[in-house]
A and B are shown apart, each in its own frame.
Chain A
Amino acid sequence: MASTLLAETPRGGFSFENCCRNQFFEQKGIKAPTAYKTGTTIVGLVYKDGVVLGADTRATEDTVVADKNCSKIHYISDNIYCCGAGTAADTEMTTQMISSQLELHRLNTGRTPRVCTANRLLKQMLFRYQGHISAALVLGGVDSTGPHLYSVYPHGSTDKLPYVTMGSGSLAAMAVFERGFKPNMEKEEAKKLVRDAIAAGIFNDLGSGSNVDVCVITKDKVDYIRPFDEANLKGQRQGSYRYKKGTTAVLKTEVKKIPFEVVKKTVRAEPMETV
């Protein structure tokens, strides 16, 4: 029929049009472009009144820093936040997708969403894609049943723990946690421990760097502190690198008069001022 006149509403989900072509390229030896990964150190811990999430702010493309101050703590709902490690696009899109699904669920049920619901939605989606969505997440929040913290792996497995770390700097961060964690810590203690764990990742892991972001979630409010600690400042520049006018040679100068019509003239009396 005349389907060219009727625009088709785009179907949701992934489009696999390029798969055949990409496989052909790989056989020919043409490498696929690398995705932006977030080298990363992300952590979460449960303390007396809630959950503290922490993350570094460096995004790398192989060995080059692509973004010095990216935000890795994503909003899922008012009481649930999620840190993401792995391919940046995957963590961004996955958390947005689950956030939107949770919002619809909240409107449907009329209740504040639970962290275990977000966990279920995430793991079911990631398992469906068999690990091809490279998103390793630290999910934390406070709901009617209390504070909860989960770590979600790219293949879809999850762990429910009092303290977790993910990303390339997870070993450095976990070393700090294992030394310093106690159940039912105070807020300032918990924030400091999270900051120390992320700092361990920032300084000892080359995939993580720049600043520490912290998100404190309690029953009543969320404190999104970005940056919590600017651990690395750029050095002071010694010289000036401004270019003089003419450094890019001017080949031709043309001055054109813009023709315009006078539409209205207003004459207004203004008192003379003698100051």
Chain B
Amino acid sequence: MDPMLNEESSYAPKQTYFSPYAMNGGTCLAIAGEDFVVVGSDTRLSQGFSIFTRDLPKTYKLTTSTVLGACGFHGDVLTLTKVLNARLKMFEHEHHKKMTTSEIAAMLSTMLYHRRFFPYYVYNLIAGLDEEGKGVVYSFDPVGSYGSDGYRARGSAAAMLQPLLDNQIGLKNQQNVQRVSLSKEKVVNLVKDVFISAAERDIYTGDAVVVHVITKDGTTTERFPLRRD
């Protein structure tokens, strides 16, 4: 069958496809320690081959001890955080106490599954301190399946970062290594290095990295530049 003969279809009416979703790029990751959590994200918002803004972190503070990292379709990220913050306030008014990290994670899961048949196109990470003060990271898929991990990367460069974290934090594929508990400084340096590498090879990651360190004393935020190309 001569493939050229099928070219006549160029005269037929074309069906245009409207997609309610868009991919806005960006990467976030979270690492849990003994008594702290480190959450980092890049600050680039893009679509296709264009950059929308270089200054939009993908992390959102929910409470003093919990941070949400959300990447994917920015429109859904905005709505999701709006609804999440409203629900947090409602909980506080009803129960006279702040939601804990595991409670927020469970609530987010039900919120996402509620939209099972027209999902929020968002890849979420909830990171914070649990009731005992230990660091914990929950990662979600767009329809609400979640589980706690010690570390997780999400977003456009997740596939590049996750194996590196598996090796350096999970100590996978290394024999004869002592499991030492990681200090805050080492983890923050690792996050910086890992984002530098991601910015080299992923076109959607770059501009700057925002790193939050959550401890029982509060949250410190650090920001440093990345490649802008």
Contact = CB atoms under 8 A, between A and B. Distances in A.
Interface string B23-54: 00000000000000000000000101111000
A209 B226 CA distance: 13
Interface string B87-104: 000000000000000000
B175 A246 contact: yes
Contact of A235 (B156, B196, B229): B196
Given A203-B228, A231-B229, A248-B175, A63 B156 contact: yes
Contact of B227 (A23, A232, A236): A232
A92 to B, nearest CB: 22
Contacts of B156: 63
Nearest to A249: B175
Interface residues of B, number: 29
A238 B49 contact: no
Contact of B203 (A23, A206, A237): A206
B229 A247 contact: no
A64 interface: yes
Interface in A160-180: 168
A243 B200 contact: no
Contact of B226 (A65, A235, A243): A235
A42 to B, nearest CB: 15
B202 interface: yes
Nearest to B227: A232
In this complex, the interface size class of chain A, counting residues with CB under 8 Å from chain B, is: 20 to 34
B193 A237 contact: yes
Interface in A241-272: 241, 243-244, 246-249
Contacts of A39: 49, 203
Interface string B104-124: 000000000000000000000
Interface centre among B51, B156, B229 (most CB of A within 10 A): B229
Please give me the 3 A-B residue pairs with the lowest Cβ-Cβ distance, nearest first.
A209-B229, A238-B189, A235-B196
20 contacts: A58-B229, A65-B202, A65-B203, A205-B49, A205-B50, A206-B46, A206-B204, A207-B49, A209-B203, A210-B229, A233-B227, A235-B196, A235-B199, A238-B190, A238-B193, A239-B186, A239-B190, A241-B168, A247-B175, A248-B174
